[in-house]
Structure 1
Amino acid sequence: MEINYINQSNDDSWDAFETYLSPILEETLNKTGFKNPVEVNVVLVDDPSIHNFNKEFRDIDRPTDVLSFEDGSMEGEVFMMGDIIISVDAIRRQAEEYGHSIKREFCFLVAHGYLHLLGYDHHTPEEEVVMFGLQKEILHDIARKDS
């Protein structure tokens, strides 16, 4: 398992959050039954940057919290998951809005991105139940292991 963590937010305090990526990915792979070795890129940006990505790739002219760009190719036995781009501005904003910690919001968005890269989506109510249920289980199990 290889995770490339790229902090482009111009805020070095986010570097410490890299330690959360592996446990979340391990739990996500475990919950989804995915067995291959994987590689993924997790990129932190600010709202203007994610706004540009959202406009360019999704034709949506506003910032968002997380974008996932699935690769899905194999390099030998390694599954190239793709890229997750997360707005640190959205993490702060949503953590305050939902009344939980920055860490919890970061972990939520990372799990959400990992699931998208593994083919999960939430376009229909049925898909949403499955994907959000998995996210909840992943975060619950990570929190339990931390305690």
Structure 2
Amino acid sequence: MSDKPFLPPRWVVLSAWAVHRGIYRISGGRRGLWRPRPDKWGMMRLTTVGRRSGTPRSVILAYYEDGADLVTMAMNGWGEGDPAWWLNLQAHPDGTVELAGATRQVRGRPAAAGAEHDRLWERWRFYNKQLDGYAALRRTPATVVVLEPLP
């Protein structure tokens, strides 16, 4: 038996994302987002500015709260490369987050190397015991992204 976690084929991951977005859209935003609980991460909708197009781009992401900050991961469904939303945030760091029952303006940044990154990664590991195994499937590291509220 292998310690390598199961990762479904890429088409399954992409289809699941499409279904989730569809549920959000069809329900008018009433379904598809939820706040984190002590034992489970939440789901939010992040809107960024396209780095090439300059137009709004939205994605639904898992997150948890770290004080006033929201923490997510740029891991592209454990596929290679950075997801477009993270590339967009690097070019234009400000975005909008829709949470279950709230909207806020945020500025995205990578977690600082060292203590901050390690602490936030450890929290993700609490939610997903196989996190390190999934991360090992990628040649490039998954970035821990901190979304700080704007005043």
Q: Greater strand share, 1 or 2?
A: 2
Q: Sort the TM-score into its range (normalised by shorter chain).
A: under 0.3
TM-score (norm 2): 0.26
TM-score (norm 1): 0.27
Q: Greater helix share, 1 or 2?
A: 1
